Structure formats: C-alpha cells, structure tokens
Structure 1
Amino acid sequence: MYRILLALSCLCVAACNPANATAELAASEKAVAAFHASANAGKFDDIYFGSADEMQNSADIVEFEEFLGVVQRKLGNAGKSSQQGWRVNYGNGATLIVLNMQTKYAKGDAVETFTFKSSSKGPMLVGYNIQSQALIMN
C-alpha cells in the first residue's frame, strides 16, 4: 500500500511540473499580446475562430464581434498591459492558464482576465472578461 501511495505522489508531482507551468505562462502572455494586436487591428473574427470550442460555444461570431467592437469604440486601442496575477490549473486532462492583466487603453484603464486552454496549437482562448469604469462611463 505504501508503494502505491508513493508512486501516486510522484506522479502528481511530475504532472504539476513548475517548468511546464512556466512555459504555459510564457505562451499565454504572448497570446494576450496577440489578442490585443488583433483587437487593435479590428480582426475580431481572427480572435473568435482562433479560440477554443468553449469560447465559441458561449457566444456566436456576431455577438463576439459586437462585444469587442464596443470595447474598442469606448476604450480605443489597447496599449501597455502588465500582468497582475496568474494561476495554472491541471485537471480532467486539461491545463487552464488564467492571467489577470492591467491594461492601459487609449481612453482608460481596464482589468482583464484571460483564460486559456493548453493545446498542441498553443494556448487557446476559453474566456475573456474586462472590467473598466471608462467602458461604462464613455
């Protein structure tokens, strides 16, 4: 019994390899920069069709484009974005990376939360949340 518990413990530690988390985090930070670049260029459909099925199932393309269009109209282009926190969750055969970003837009600041799913193609957007007083007030 002791050997089985030891083997399972080693397997759990190997699955939560900090090196993997670091690589996942770096790839997700690049994906945030790509998201902002595409949004600034008005390529909302590129973001949508490059996202994970979970994201596409939560909204159709028209709703998604309208939402990002409102963000761009009210806040302008995204500028400097700095990470405020992150976490990596391993479970059910999937790796989820959540990044909390502070982003300066042309017309105000925003706190954004990006959720990515690890895939063989790289991080795929699963969820996006933006909070900004300027988004409401403008």
Structure 2
Amino acid sequence: MRIMLAFLLAFSVAGCSPAEAGKSVEQSQQAIKTFHGELNAGNFDDIYYGSADEMQDSVDIVGFEELLGAVQKKLGKAGKSEQQSWHVNFANGTTIVTLTMQTTYDKDKATETFVYVKAKDGMKLAGYNIQSRALIVN
C-alpha cells in the first residue's frame, strides 16, 4: 500500500513541474498576442474555430462574433497588454492556464481573463472574459 501511494504521489508531482508550468504560461501569452492580432483584423471565425471544445460548447459562432464585434466597436483595436496574474492548474492530465491581462484599447483600458487548455497542437482558448467601462456605457 505504501509503495502504491508513493508511486501515485510521484506520478502526480511529475505532471506539474515548474518548467512545464512556465512553458504553458509562455505558450498562453503567445496565444493572447495571436488572439489580439486576430481580433484587430476582425478574424473572429479564426479565433472561434481555433478555440477549445469548452469554448465552442459554451457559445455558438454567432454569439461569439457578436461579443467580439462589440469589443471592437466600443473599444477599438487592442494595443499593449500587460499580464496582471497567472494560474496554472493540472487536473486529470489536463493543463489549464488562466491569465489576467490589462489591455489598452484605442478607446479605453480593459481587464481580460483568458483560460487556455493545453492540446496536442498548442494552447486552445477555453474561456474569455472582458471587463471595461466603455463596454457598458458606450
């Protein structure tokens, strides 16, 4: 029993190394740059169809395009984006990265929260939240 417990503990720790966490955060940061580039270009379909199943299951393409269209219309183009916080979670063999960014858009600043899951071909967007005064009052 002790041997099995030690094996399970070693196996679970091996899956969440600091190096792997750091690499996943870096990949997510790059994915955010790509997201903002696609957003600025109006390529909402590319963002949606490149996202994780969790994202596509939570909203259809029309609703997703409406959201990003409103962001673009009310805030303008995304500019400089600075990381405010990050969190990496390893659950059931899945790496989940949450990054909170302070992004300067043409018309206002916004706090954006991105959730990425690690897939075979890179980090996939699983969740997106944006908060900005301009989204409410404009």
Q: What TM-score does the superposition give when structure 2 sets the normalisation length? A: 0.96
Note the residue ranges of structure 2 that are not aligned, 5 or more in a row.
Answer: none
Residue 7 of structure 1, CA deviation: 2.1
Q: Which amino acid aligns with 2:92?
A: N
- For the residues of structure 2 that align with 1:66 and 1:19, how far apart are their CA atoms? 38
Q: What is aligned with 2:106?
A: 106
Q: What is aligned with 2:127?
A: 127
Aligned pair 1:53/2:57, yes or no? no
Residue 92 of structure 1, CA deviation: 2.0
Q: What TM-score does the superposition give when structure 1 sets the normalisation length? A: 0.96
Q: Structure 1 residue runs of 4+, over 3 Å off?
A: none
Q: Which moved more, 1:87-96 or 1:75-84?
A: 87-96
Aligned pair 1:94/2:94, yes or no? yes
Q: Which amino acid aligns with 1:121?
A: D
- Equivalent pairs, count: 138
Residue 3 of structure 1, CA deviation: 2.6
Residue 89 of structure 1, CA deviation: 0.8
Q: Which amino acid aligns with 1:107?
A: K
Note the residue ranges of structure 1 that are not aligned, 5 or more in a row.
Answer: none
| DSSP 3-state at the match of 1:118 | strand
Residue 4 of structure 1, CA deviation: 2.6
- For the residues of structure 2 that align with 1:57 and 1:8, how far apart are their CA atoms? 33
Counterparts of residues 35-54 of structure 1 (less than 5 Å)? 35-54=35-54
Q: Is the 8 A contact 2:38 2:46 kept in 1?
A: yes
Residue 11 of structure 1, CA deviation: 1.5
- Percent same amino acid among aligned pairs? 55
Residue 93 of structure 1, CA deviation: 2.5
CA RMSD for the aligned pairs? 1.0
Q: What is aligned with 1:77?
A: 77
- For the residues of structure 1 that align with 2:112 and 2:80, how far apart are their CA atoms? 12
